[in-house]
Amino acid sequence: MSAARPLEPPAPSLFEAVACYCCGSDSRSDFITAEDDLTGKPGTFRFVRCESCGLVYQHPRIVIERITDYYDDEYIAHRKKTDWGVLTPLYEHVMGKHDRDKDRTVSRYVTLDAHSEVLDVGCAVGTFLQRIRQRHGSRVCGVDFKDLRGHASLEGVDFRQGLFYEQDLGSERFDLVTMWHFLEHDYDPRRTLAKASAVLKQSGRLVIEVPRLDSVSFKLYGDRWPGLQAPQHTTLYDKQSLLRMVERAGFEVIDYLPYGSFPAYFYLFSGAAFRVLKGKGLNLSKAIYPYFAGQLALTPVLLFEKQLNLAMQTVVCGKR
């Protein structure tokens, strides 16, 4: 699908050992082995459970300098609008709903207006920030490790390219900091959370959404669970380890939601596809018709998405 796809599994020299991201222990046991089911790149990736605190994380991991090879143009969050061809209007409708749901979630915890400042960490092409800017008039800032400048959806967004904790963003500045499916990719979540605390106003809110390991979809799909997303996902959080991580970083948990803005159905569909494809990679353009057909069929289940603990979780934090 892409010229950038490596043809060989990653060489052992591209991996490095890593201690537990939460407690620093290097005592661990095997948890699960995964493949890159989404793009079908070769290689197997190992997740372990920390014997000290219970966090599940990838060990060894690909060195940070080479993980970008796994975020090529097929990576869904980075896709340009036009990549979807005739399905572009449908795709935009779905993504629009996604951003509306994020807005609805954060608006329960913060009142945003023209005086507010909002930061999105791992902002991709910035559609969420664009919505916040247009609907609430807030000043918006986004960080992503990919250089995505030039995207129309980043217009008016103070976009920073690079690692979040290396950015100069001032202190106690933001009313809202969001991390939508960012923390599970992070190579240094403790440093990220410390930085988030430093840039957040005392009354501000940090909203984090990640896949939920102790969910129905993981029980269904096991080593083909889309939330494994190897090798990009460094950590796999269950409810307990997510709460422990933010509390250790000095945050107070304001609320916990057993769902997210990202559609659980995406995991239900792609997990089933990954089971069939067995690591050959999912061609999203070909899968799009079955995708929407399945969504229609599962409508009765998806009406109860927020009650069923299907795939995602969100934690809302404040400063102590």
Sequence-separated contacts (24+) of 49-52 with Cβ below 8 Å: 50/20, 50/22, 50/23, 50/25, 51/25, 51/27, 52/20, 52/23, 52/25, 52/27
CA dihedral 108, 197, 119, 94 (to 10 degrees): -50
Cβ at position 244, least distance to Zn ion in Å: 9
Cβ at position 52, least distance to Zn ion in Å: 5
Residue carrying structure tokens 């046991």: 29
Question: Interface with Zn ion by CB under 5 A: which range of 6-14, 32-40, 44-52, 104-112?
Answer: 44-52
Residue 199, Cβ neighbours under 10 Å: how many?
A: 22
Cβ at position 241, least distance to Zn ion in Å: 8
Residue nearer to Zn ion on the CB measure, 18 or 50: 50
Residues 52-111 that bind Zn ion (CB under 5 A): 52-53, 55
Between strands 235-236 and 28-35, the pairing is unpaired
Task: Give the separation between CA 241 and CA 54, rounded to whole angstroms.
Answer: 7
Question: Interface with Zn ion by CB under 5 A: which range of 9-17, 48-56, 130-138, 268-276?
Answer: 48-56
Task: Give the separation between CA 58 and CA 76, rounded to whole angstroms.
Answer: 21
Residue nearer to Zn ion on the CB measure, 50 or 154: 50
Residue nearer to Zn ion on the CB measure, 14 or 50: 50
Residues that bind Zn ion (rule: CB under 5 A) add up to a total of 8
Residues in a beta bridge with 277: none
Question: Interface with Zn ion by CB under 5 A: which range of 25-33, 174-182, 261-269, 290-298?
Answer: 25-33
Nearest to 138 by CA among 204, 202, 209: 204
Cβ at position 121, least distance to Zn ion in Å: 23
Cβ at position 70, least distance to Zn ion in Å: 25
Residues whose CB falls within 8 Å of the CB of residue 200, separated by 6 or more in sequence, listed in order: 172, 173, 174, 177, 206, 319
Selected binder of Zn ion within 1, 4, 19, 23 (CB under 5 A): 23
Cβ at position 51, least distance to Zn ion in Å: 8
Question: Interface with Zn ion by CB under 5 A: which range of 13-21, 65-73, 166-174, 270-278?
Answer: 13-21
Question: Interface with Zn ion by CB under 5 A: which range of 2-10, 15-23, 134-142, 228-236?
Answer: 15-23
Residue 288 as a binder of Zn ion (CB under 5 A): the answer is no
Selected binder of Zn ion within 18, 20, 208, 311 (CB under 5 A): 20
Selected binder of Zn ion within 34, 50, 112, 210 (CB under 5 A): 50
Residue nearer to Zn ion on the CB measure, 22 or 62: 22
Selected binder of Zn ion within 14, 18, 22, 124 (CB under 5 A): 22
> Residue 123 in contact with residue 164, Cβ under 8 Å?
no
Cβ at position 57, least distance to Zn ion in Å: 8
Would you list the DSSP string of 175-219? EEEEEES-GGG-S-HHHHHHHHHHHEEEEEEEEEEEE-SSSHHHH
Residue 25 as a binder of Zn ion (CB under 5 A): the answer is yes
Residues lying near Zn ion in the complex (CB under 5 A) are found at: 20, 22-23, 25, 50, 52-53, 55
